[in-house]
Amino acid sequence: MTKIRVKNFGPIKLGFPEQGGWMDIPKFCVFIGNQGSGKSTLAKLYSTFTWIEKALVRGDFNEKWLGRKNKLLNQFLPYHRIAEYLVDSGEISDQTEIDYEGDAFSISYRESFLTAIPKNESTYKLPQVMYVPAERNFIAYVKSPKELKLSSESLKEFLTEFENAKQDLKSSIKLPVNGVDLDYDRLNDVMNIRTSSYKIGLTDSSSGFQSIVPMFLVSRFLTHKVKESLLSDVGEPMSPKELSRFRKAIAEIFTNKSLKEDQKRAAIQVLSEKFNKSAFINTVEEPEQNLFPTSQWEMLKSLVSYANELPDNKLLITTHSPYILNWFSISGLAFEISKKLDENEELKNKLNRLLLAKERVDPSSLAFYEFSEVDGSIRKLNTTEGVVSGNNFLNDYLRESNVMLDELLEIEELAV
Amino acid sequence: MDFHNPSCQEAPRSEPKFGICDGAIAYSSLINPTSWIAEVRNQSGLPVTLTAIDGCVILRHELPGIRRCDCMLTTGDHLYLVELKEEKSGWKNGAIAQLLSTIQLYSDTNGRGDFKHRKAFTCNRKSRRFQEIDHELNRKVFRKYGFRIDAQATIVVI
């Protein structure tokens, strides 16, 4: 299982105090916490290090190149605009420590240097890595997102995949909320939300649709792309000759001084399309954004279904929503109960009506982490049969409003 | 029916923490916290009296069809009604009905009394689940009976 260990990086100070600081990142991972507590920061770091590992395996660069001073600072962190979080001066104990343990490489960061040590690559599945940013609504809101001068590299890449997903739409598709359809008017380069009674452009639709469409479309597109590449001849592994040619071409991009960093990454992305991917690592910031609770659940069902399409797919989400936490509990319990039903078709049907098999989450592949903005620590939430402990921040704040109402009534009680 | 019947009352206790258990009638306990259905925190050390309601103030055969809660905690200022539950699901509405019915019975026989703080708790050891917003229920019960209600408690703080 992939693991990550982070200390003294932006809002993350103490990090995870158990297991020597190592956080397991299983197939399904949920980060909760206040804003500024570091959950998105860690999600971005995880995404960055999975990308570095992939690039090392593919030969985009080697360990020696990676080991040069300030590579993390200058090359990788600006992609998510988190370079300023690095602490490389002062007491050693206050400096940034990052360790990542993947299937193919162990990668560490200490005092301005990255170190990568290869492991057994045979179990490694080359992933499609995507970070779905919180700013995704912006893309759906403007008429010509391609013409935007986006300052975030990760948002640019997301936009690229959004464009690819649009172009890939052959006919209208059903969105997981409100039973509406989405179609793409190629001639006018416009996306429309369509029901039986009305049609409205995505740019003019509600904020909920503007949030869900980019997230849903890109997740769906990349899931299918990875799956298709696995099933088709195109997805056959490269021959040694092809691999050598690929690595040479990548090296040329890296040494080309006329290309900017974002241009290099884009060029590599185009070139690496030739490489078959066997997994999709989807990191989604706040999937609940602008969505009604039932829509949050429907959206989550889609994301979980996509993650369940291939055994090595992963879904990591950050959230403020108790509904999302609740849904994972229900989904985990549904998975556990499904194992007890044997051949009882009636009960199986009943369970399917609640949650389909593809929408269930194996509790042994599920972890919840809670981030504290107070001391920059991270805590793993206990689960039983997949049901997450009620002892968590989101639940505590629901309780807090009952307590506040009680205190107000007590003031009135004492005033009478 | 006497809600302050001394024969249904335990001797006052002022420990900072004790439990309430359910047997033939509800009783307080200092030992074996795993058997406590509700935990009482009494940091101010007030003398707290537990009165068993179901099975003592109101005997089982009395008032058929009228629901009643398990016990009552009182100090000079506090009147706290407590319903104990040990069920995983489908318990909450029944527990609230038991409390509301007891509040009604108490009000009919004792009026509002001289207590500064009147609260009613449902305590369920087996249900430490996600919280619900209870504002509407709380406001309604307070306006109607002068009792604040906590339908999702595990700990009773005096």
ipTM associated with this complex: 0.73
Contacts of B132 in chain A (CB under 8 A): 398
Contact B138 A406 (CB under 8 A): yes
Closest approach of A120 to chain B, Cα-based (Å):
43
| Cβ–Cβ under 8 Å, residues A259 and A253 | yes
Identify all chain B residues contacting A414, using CB atoms and an 8 Å cutoff. Answer: 116
- Count CA atoms within 13 Å of residue A353 on its CB side: 5
B117 and A401 within 8 Å at the Cβ level: the answer is: no
Q: In what order do the strands lie in the sheet with B38-41?
A: B26-29, B17-22, B38-41, B155-157
Mark yes or no for CB contact B148/A398 under 8 Å.
no
CB contact under 8 A, A395 and B130: yes
Look at strands A105-110 and A97-101 and give their pairing. Answer: antiparallel
The C-alpha of A320 sits at a distance from chain B's nearest C-alpha, in angstroms, of: 14
Q: What tokens does B89 get?
A: 């699901």
Per-residue pLDDT of A52-107, as tens digits, reads 999 898 888 889 999 999 999 998 998 888 999 998 888 888 899 999 999 999 99
Q: Which residues of B touch A401 (CB under 8 A)?
A: 133, 135
The predicted pLDDT at position A220 comes to: 96
| Chain A residues in contact with B138 (beta carbon < 8 A) | 402, 405-406, 409
Per-residue model confidence as pLDDT tens digits over B55-97: 999 998 888 888 999 999 999 999 999 999 887 666 777 888 8
In chain A, what residues touch B148 (CB-CB under 8 Å)?
406, 409-410, 413
pLDDT of residue A237: 58
**Cα distances (Å, whole numbers) of residue A116 to A21, A64, A100, A281, B83:** 19, 9, 9, 21, 60
DSSP H or E segment with residue B119 = strand B117-124
Nearest Cβ partner for A410 among B139, B148, B152: B148
**Residue B88 forms contact with A (CB below 8 Å):** no
Which residues of chain B make contact with A412, given a CB cutoff of 8 A? 142
pLDDT in tens, A6-47: 999 999 999 999 999 999 999 999 999 988 999 999 999 999
Please list every residue in chain A whose beta carbon sits closer than 8 Å to the beta carbon of residue B142.
Answer: 409, 412
CB crowding A393-408: b at 16 or more within 10 Å, else e: bbbeebbeebeebbee
Q: How do residues A262-290 score in pLDDT, each as one tens digit?
A: 777 777 777 766 677 889 999 999 999 99
Q: Does B131 touch chain A (CB under 8 A)?
A: yes
Rounded (10°) angle between helices A393-415 and B135-145:
20
Best mean pLDDT range from A157-171, A263-277, B6-20: B6-20
DSSP B154: S
The reported pLDDT for the residue numbered A148 is: 65
Q: What is the mean pLDDT of chain A?
A: 88
Give the burial class of A337: count Cβ atoms within 10 A of its Cβ; 0-12 exposed, 13-18 middle, 19 or more buried.
Answer: middle
User: What are the residue boundaries of the structural domains of chain B, listed by start?
Assistant: 12-156
Q: Chain A within 8 Å of B134 (Cβ-Cβ)?
A: yes
Q: How far is A230 from chain B (nearest CA, A)?
A: 41
Cβ distance of A390 and B139 shorter than 8 Å: no
Which of A341, A328, A347 is closest to A385 using CA atoms? A328
3-state secondary structure A111-140: CCEEEEEECCHHHCCCEEEEEECCCHHHHH
Q: Which residue has the higher pLDDT, B3 or A59?
A: B3
- Interchain proximity B116–A414, CB inside 8 Å: yes
Record: contact A398-B130, CB cut-off 8 A: yes
Residues of chain B in contact with residue A325, where contact means CB-CB under 8 angstroms, are 130
Q: Is the dihedral of CA B59, B127, B146, B114 positive or negative?
A: positive
Minimum-distance CB partner of A406 among B116, B131, B150: B150
Which residue of chain A comes nearest to B128, CA vs CA?
Answer: A390
pLDDT score for A125 = 85
